[in-house]
Amino acid sequence: MKRWALGIAIVFVGIACGGPAQSAASTPTPTAEANGIHKIQHVVVIMQENRSFDHYFGLYPGADGLPRQGGQFTACVPDPDNGGCVRPYHDATDKNGGGPHGSSNATADINSGKMDGFIGQAEKGKRGCVATVDPNCTNSVKTDVMGYKDARDIPNYWAYASNFVLQDHMFQPNASWSFPQHLYMVSEWAAKCSRKDDPMSCTTNIDAPGNPLVGGAGKVNGQDQAARNFAWTSLTYMLYKRDISWRYYVAEGSTPDCEDNAATCSPGQQRVGTPDIWNPLPGFTDVRADGQVGNVQTIDHFYADAKAVTLPAVSWVVPNGPVSEHPPGLVSAGQTYVTTLIDTIMRTPEWSSTAIFLSWDDWGGFYDHVAPPVVDSAGYGLRVPGIVISPYAKHGFIDHQILSQDAYVKFIEDAFLGGARLDPKTDGRLDSRPDVRENNPSLGNLLSDFDFSQQPRAPLVLDPNPSPGPASTI
């Protein structure tokens, strides 16, 4: 595996870029004494869409993947519409359907830890489609939630896992769809607020966060995007107070996610300055009050900033629909996009002090066999892939700790904020969040994925359009 993964590394010429580089507020300056986590001067969180761990890495050697014995899969998930059950199978299809992935679907898929509701929910999702002309909404189309990929389909993702760190117990922070995941990614909470800009009026909500809504123009899936308001505290508030630079890079375009239990829905339009399901920061009260909305920028600025060696200390990078891997987005298009992002970083001097965290925001209805731990009323949600890429990442390491994407926030806090947490008792801005997610005793520590005593690793520049890798052995 490792010999093959190294073999596909090449130097790929041609970095997409656009727009002038933007000056950062402040990036910590490395010193000769920098040690441990403080060798990391740049954290880049790349968040893709809607794939479970077993769907992408179920046959990865050494990982807690698809259950099997004697060359046969032991899991067989009931098929309510057609009778019997369906075992995992290799699915080479580049365009998948997946299944509905709201909170009720997560509850049904998990089914009190039996992990057997996936096919039934996918079948119900097709019947509930509003856009019945969508091919994924016809009953003649077989559900594909039991399909898995391997190095034949996602060779670069498997190469990153083989050469850096794969996390096989990474759970989405809450058991619901994409919108609350992106809120947790930047604020460690998803809530609905009864009074605009009042952080004490917010209560946990993983179905329809935000509000109150005003106006009526520009509605997407029944919500006025421009009016979404998130009054509780975001991580950017703490970064701004400490003069730590950050940016949220957005690939503008369509977003295919649904707010209900349908398999597909009419796509929304993602714009830099408009709060949206994958781009919530423009709707945060503190981001607006701190004059930081301009830190939400197009993906072209990511390439320009990297080329100019001006990446901020903290970057979040989110896709648009076609490159998100969210069904019906092509798997290959997402892999090409992610590889180009990572190659871009690896070609800069900043690679030597960067940690890249790559994950997928939710399970997308695809099968996974591991029941998620219950840590509070919202989560954890289902298991998703997690990969750590850094010159200080361990080589070919599989991290078996219980993790959620909360660990990214914790790492940023430890690297740049002296371990301060998003805690209303200490962060200087009251809100009504019920717990401090970073302090949950179930949450592992990403420091286990690094060896800061090792010689910094050379970059692994990959072809964004790779040839298929080898088939896996069951």
CATH number for the domain that contains residue 260: 3.40.720.10
Distance from C-alpha of 324 to C-alpha of 342, rounded to nearest angstrom: 15
Assign 318 a pLDDT band (cuts: 50, 70, 90): very high
Helix 178-187 × helix 406-416 angle, to 10°: 20
Q: What is the pLDDT of the chain when averaged over all its residues?
A: 89
Distance from C-alpha of 453 to C-alpha of 460, rounded to nearest angstrom: 20
pLDDT higher than 70, residue 8? no
Instruction: Take residue 273 and report the two structure tokens written for it.
Output: 């300055």
Evaluate whether residue 234 is within a structural domain. yes
Evaluate whether residue 471 is within a structural domain. no
As a whole number, mean pLDDT of residues 342-351 equals 98
Alpha helices (H) in 374-418, listed in sequence order: 406-416
What share of the chain in percent tops pLDDT 70? 84
Assign 211 a pLDDT band (cuts: 50, 70, 90): low
Evaluate whether residue 33 is within a structural domain. yes
Evaluate whether residue 130 is within a structural domain. no
* Triad 18, 333, 387: Cα angle to 5°: 90
Distance from C-alpha of 308 to C-alpha of 324, rounded to nearest angstrom: 26
As a whole number, mean pLDDT of residues 346-351 equals 98
Query: How many independent structural domains does the chain possess?
Result: 1
Chain-centroid distance of CA 136 in Å reads 24
The confidence score (pLDDT) of residue 140 equals: 53
Most confident of 11-20, 79-88, 248-257: 79-88
Evaluate whether residue 95 is within a structural domain. no
Instruction: Take residue 324 and report the two structure tokens written for it.
Output: 């998100």
Domain span holding position 215: 2-56+151-449
> pLDDT tens for residues 108-163?
999 999 999 999 999 988 766 655 555 556 555 689 999 999 999 999 999 999 99
Lowest mean pLDDT among 12-21, 108-117, 349-358, 458-467: 12-21
As a whole number, mean pLDDT of residues 250-261 equals 78
Position with higher pLDDT, 94 vs 15: 94
As a whole number, mean pLDDT of residues 43-48 equals 99
Evaluate whether residue 417 is within a structural domain. yes
Radius of gyration over every alpha carbon of the chain, rounded to an integer in angstroms: 21
pLDDT higher than 80, residue 32? no
The confidence score (pLDDT) of residue 216 equals: 36
Position with higher pLDDT, 189 vs 253: 189
Evaluate whether residue 32 is within a structural domain. yes
Distance from C-alpha of 252 to C-alpha of 269, rounded to nearest angstrom: 8
Evaluate whether residue 31 is within a structural domain. yes
Handedness of CA 261, 262, 263, 269 (dihedral sign): negative
Assign 259 a pLDDT band (cuts: 50, 70, 90): low
pLDDT higher than 70, residue 457? yes
Distance from C-alpha of 282 to C-alpha of 241, rounded to nearest angstrom: 18
Position with higher pLDDT, 218 vs 121: 121
| Structure-token match 């986590």, residue found | 37
What share of the chain in percent tops pLDDT 90? 78
Lowest mean pLDDT among 258-262, 305-309, 334-338, 425-429: 258-262
Position with higher pLDDT, 292 vs 31: 292
The model carries a pTM of 0.90
Assign 3 a pLDDT band (cuts: 50, 70, 90): very low
The confidence score (pLDDT) of residue 28 equals: 54
